[in-house]
Amino acid sequence: MNKIWFIGAGPGDPELITVKGRRLLDAADILVYAGSLVNPDLVSSSPATWKYDSNGMSLEEMIPIMVRGAREGKTVVRLHSGDPALYGAIVEQIDLLSQESISVEVIPGVSSLFGAAAALSAQLTLRGVSESVIITRPAGKTLQKDKITELSRTGETMAVFLGTDKLEEITSRLAFHPSTTAVVVYHATWPDQKIIRGTIEDIARKAADAGITRSALLLIGEVFSEEPKGHIRSFLYS
């Protein structure tokens, strides 16, 4: 079968991979995984004969490995962190595989955003507080200009990926009131998970004091407050 499985590994805890993802991982002959972003327990538990860490590999190096395996009838798994649909860079891979007449099926995973919300026992949407969620990232090596300031003017819940090393810059550009609740969640659902609570005004300093410089998610909004103001009981329980 000329097919490759793209699987979301989940946020960190190996038990949070989906049942279908686990089944396919257990059947893999070739496993191409996203380096340290994927829990090593998932990688080591796979019986795949050939395992490749894609960290540092170019598409020109990675695609031929997957194509060759698929054409030989092997079960090829491309294991991404979280959910492949969020900052997973899967479209480039799928395009090149399509050119080789290789089909792809994507198995969704639990995003670190949802892992972080679970760690906080929080809802991302809360009646009377916020009914929308904005997912974004700051400008950097692969993005020339972001829309963080414009998006923050909505006042809705925000989740900022890929910005742990820019927390001070990000928070200085937000249109929220400085006292708005902000949380940094490092390695959501991993054994070394850390939760830093604060406000837009002080969260960058608190995260720096905790030694957090990477692999964290910035969450902004009163849905993350321990006592959200304006919360109205859901109609589900009326």
The per-residue pLDDT for range 42-58, each reduced to its tens digit, is 999 999 999 999 998 99
pLDDT of amino acid 107: 98
pLDDT band at 16 (very low <50, low <70, confident <90, very high): very high
Parts of the chain belonging to CATH 3.40.1010.10:
3-107
CATH architecture, domain defined by 112-224: 2-Layer Sandwich (3.30)
- Note the residue count of the chain: 238
Question: Which pair of tokens denotes residue 37?
Answer: 């972003």
pLDDT band at residue 135 using 50, 70 and 90 as cut-offs: very high
Write out pLDDT tens, residues 176-231.
999 999 999 999 999 999 999 999 999 999 999 999 999 999 999 999 998 888 88
Average pLDDT rounded to a whole number, residues 96-116: 97
- Which residue intervals of the chain bear CATH 3.30.950.10? 112-224
Residue 39: what pLDDT?
Answer: 96
What are the DSSP calls for 77-142, one per residue?
EEEESB-TTTT---HHHHHHHHHTT-EEEEE----HHHHHHHHTT--SSBTTTBS-EEEE---BTT
Give the pLDDT score at 210: 97
Reduced 3-state DSSP string for 126-148: ECCCECCEEEECCCECCECCCCH
Strands 216-220 and 157-160: antiparallel
Out of 22-26, 90-94, 143-147, 166-170, pick the least confident: 143-147
- Residue 175: burial class (beta carbons within 10 Å; 0-12, 13-18, 19+): middle
Q: How confident is the model at residue 234 (pLDDT cuts 50, 70, 90)?
A: confident
Please name the residues in contact with 237: beta carbons below 8 A apart, sequence gap of 6 or more: none
- CATH classification of 3-107, choosing from 3.40.1010.10, 3.90.1720.10, 2.40.160.20, 3.40.50.300? 3.40.1010.10
In whole numbers, what is the pLDDT of the chain averaged over residues?
Answer: 95
The band of 63, judged by pLDDT with boundaries at 50, 70 and 90, is very high
pLDDT digits (tens, 9 = 90+) for 25-43: 999 999 999 998 999 999 9
Whole-model pTM: value is 0.93
Q: What pLDDT does 24 receive?
A: 98
pLDDT at 228: 87
Average pLDDT value for residue range 119-123: 97
Does residue 136 carry a pLDDT above 70?
A: yes
* pLDDT > 70? residue 1: no
Number of other CB atoms surrounding residue 164 within 10 Å = 19
